[in-house]
Structure 1
Amino acid sequence: MNTPQALQLNPENSFSISSSCPAFYSPSSIEELANIAKAMDKPFYVLGAGTNTLFVNNVTPAIIHPNFHGIEVKDCGDRVLVSGQSAENWHEFVQFCLNRGYYGIENLALIPGSIGAAPVQNIGAYGVELADVLDSVSWFEFSSQTLRHFTNEQCHFGYRDSIFKHALFGKGIIVSVTLSLSKTWQPKLSYQGLAQLGADASAEQVFNQVVQLRQSKLPDPKELPNAGSFFKNPVVDEDVFNTLQQSYPDMPYYPQRNHQVKLAAGWLIDQCGLKGYRQGNVGVHQHQALVLVNYGQASGRELYQLAQYVQQQVKQKFAICLEPEVRLLDSAGLIHLTEVNN
């Protein structure tokens, strides 16, 4: 087993927050995972590429950083099963599939992070979710020290949600993810920004358009530390939406199942006059209100307090409580974004 060691985590998170962990493990085999499971007697957190986590305090729990690499392909006639180990870069995995004519995840290009984190969040963008193409997940269970396999249905996917956030949280680690992709190209262009490509658009054109759109909207975390979209797009009942639309007829919306409507969190924040808002070392990005940024030597607590303020302003104006998409971590583990009282 690799020896646990304290580590400064600035390079391990896209917010570039200064924090340290009491022990850092980077297993690259099932045997190492089993040994870590035997020795783990303290709170821990599984950290992938660190692109969706905010370290709120100066100290985190022990960190397990999976280091499993490799991609395997199984031909299944008109479809193909592509398995990626958890530490593989997601965007590079999308490119790998595109270059070989395996279709279905072009709309998910340039989403930061690792393959292992993708099912946890059920990542999604431009009208496609991971749940649309996921075949199965291989997951190492600490208690039994065995590898278990979960089908798409068993993952209990929801909007930015899965079983790995709930019943299985803290009980194991995703080792690999298998997708079922098509060899026949069928574009999905319903989302804003893609429709203008036309029905005969190639997979490469869709991929390039998604990359261009994301780069135009989201700042590069290497230049301006951030974690992309900080908040989830809220989903409300139709009656709530209808009431809001009477006051805000230009409000963007996306009909969902079960008489619900998804709203644009960035638009809600923008309507509160917060685009470009700044509090010391942190702020709301000037071009994309859904992104919170670290302008310098910000602490995790400063970003947490800014998120509280944004949440408060949106609730006051729209009676909607935004939930973070970014995962918030203190020394004991994951925490919630607590609303600020007036």
Structure 2
Amino acid sequence: MSDAVRIVRDAALTHRNTFGVPARASLLAEVADARMLPDVLARDGFAGTTPLLVGGGSNLLFGGDPDVPVLVLTGDAVSVVSEDGTDVVLRAEAGANWHGFVMDTLARGLGGLENLSLIPGTVGAAPIQNIGAYGVEVCERIHAVEAFEPATGAWHRLPAEDCGFGYRDSLFKRQPDRFIVTAVEFLLSRQAQVRVDYAGLGEALAAAGLAAPTPRQVADAVIAIRRSKLPDPAVLGNAGSFFKNPIVPAAQADALCEKYPRLPVFPVAPFPADALAHGEAPHGPRSKLSAAWLIDACGWKGHRRGDAGVADAHALVLVNHGAATGAELLGLARDIAASVQERFGVALEPEPRVVGARW
């Protein structure tokens, strides 16, 4: 075993998921150098399997123990790929802490990721989930994704347009066992145009007297808002927003708005990238609904069932008050989704990947 690889048997996963739920892996490998992946995946216990890739654990709910080995990439180096004076391509290894990386980009005078501050997880998980917040999705800033394909032994560098990005979706999420994301390249700018039109963000900046905020000032505002609304996973186990905002036909959204005028609705482009990436025919007009509003309207905010619950300040956030199991949180999530479906005729889907159980 080299310094680049650490193997653990019967590994506890409680501290490898931000829900803090108990789970165990029969075998876990920590890999600091992605070039060691072919060697690791050929070893006893890994050969012939498709390991579960775990980053910061903020996009996972362990409904039970994983039935495959677990792989953790720990390399976190950041380097400049190219720059032309204004635009800079920055490469970060998959194991880099996401928020730490965002702060690093701002310290370098680079804008583009400030709206995505304080999102838990790692750089490698960001393109898989196509993380987004405050009007920005990470796919807008991704230049390319580097990945290893275990089945073929091939290394890939996929331009952003080949990653099939959609709302909280990507080629890597739809084919979770095909690729291992090893690094991500971001196209950032020294003259970034900040985006502050998302509800709540512009108002917070205006209240602070910032008519022309810098990227760092936008990041500070986002951090303050997130801390006021979302519990710290280190204090109260959670994975951030648990449900995706549902996307429905515009006609269905219009009908719901007639009945529920306060329901927040956002327009969606009629030719979404996620549909085209699947080879589907383009959809007609669609709208995005606020999952938080739907859940809150069903009375779930602040609900608690044993140690599994819903955050007091945000209906989208499921929380572990201490000793909840993944199965208990999953059961609560299913009941929430069922109540929204029954009342509004809208299906909710989880953002985190459910492991060891079916949604």
TM > 0.5: yes
Q: Of residues 105, 112, 118 in structure 1, which corresponds to 2:113? A: 105
User: For residue 57 of structure 1, what is the amino acid of its counterpart?
Assistant: G
Q: CA RMSD in A?
A: 1.4
> Could you say which residue in structure 1 is the equivalent of 2:51?
44
After superposition, what is the alpha-carbon deviation per residue over 1:179-210, rounded to whole angstroms, capped at 9, x for unaligned?
00111031101101122225512222211110
> Could you say which residue in structure 1 is the equivalent of 2:228?
216
> Could you say which residue in structure 2 is the equivalent of 1:305?
331
Contact 2:302–2:310, Cα closer than 8 Å, also in 1: yes
Task: Kindly indicate whether residue 191 of structure 2 is the aligned counterpart of residue 165 of structure 1.
Answer: no
Alignment of 1:1-342 (within 5 A): 1=1, 2=5, 3-39=7-43, 40-73=47-80, 74-167=82-175, 169-196=176-203, 197-198=205-206, 199-258=211-270, 259-330=285-356, 336-337=358-359
Shift in Å, 1:4: 4.6
Contact 1:43–1:61, Cα closer than 8 Å, also in 2: yes
Give the 3 Å change call, closer, same or farther, for CA 218–147 of structure 1 in structure 2: same
Contact 1:20–1:60, Cα closer than 8 Å, also in 2: no
Contact 2:34–2:73, Cα closer than 8 Å, also in 1: no
User: For residue 142 of structure 2, what is the amino acid of its counterpart?
Assistant: L
Instruction: State the distance in 2 between where 1:59 and 1:188 align.
Output: 40
Give the 3 Å change call, closer, same or farther, for CA 30–94 of structure 1 in structure 2: closer
Shift in Å, 1:6: 1.7
Shift in Å, 1:58: 4.0
User: For residue 141 of structure 1, what is the amino acid of its counterpart?
Assistant: E
Aligned length: 332
TM-score, normalization by structure 2 = 0.89
User: For residue 314 of structure 2, what is the amino acid of its counterpart?
Assistant: Q
SS at structure 2 position matched to 1:112: coil
Contact 2:65–2:355, Cα closer than 8 Å, also in 1: no
User: For residue 110 of structure 1, what is the amino acid of its counterpart?
Assistant: L
Contact 1:56–1:300, Cα closer than 8 Å, also in 2: yes
Contact 1:19–1:60, Cα closer than 8 Å, also in 2: no
SS at structure 1 position matched to 2:288: strand
User: Unaligned stretches of 5+ in structure 2?
Assistant: 271-284
Instruction: State the distance in 2 between where 1:4 and 1:94 align.
Output: 31
The worse-fitting range, judged by mean Cα deviation, of 259-268 and 36-45 is: 36-45
Instruction: State the distance in 2 between where 1:283 and 1:296 align.
Output: 10
Contact 1:85–1:115, Cα closer than 8 Å, also in 2: yes
Shift in Å, 1:43: 4.3
Q: Give 4+ residue runs of structure 1 displaced > 4 Å after superposition.
A: none
TM-score, normalization by structure 1 = 0.94
User: For residue 35 of structure 1, what is the amino acid of its counterpart?
Assistant: D
Give the 3 Å change call, closer, same or farther, for CA 91–262 of structure 1 in structure 2: same
User: For residue 225 of structure 1, what is the amino acid of its counterpart?
Assistant: G
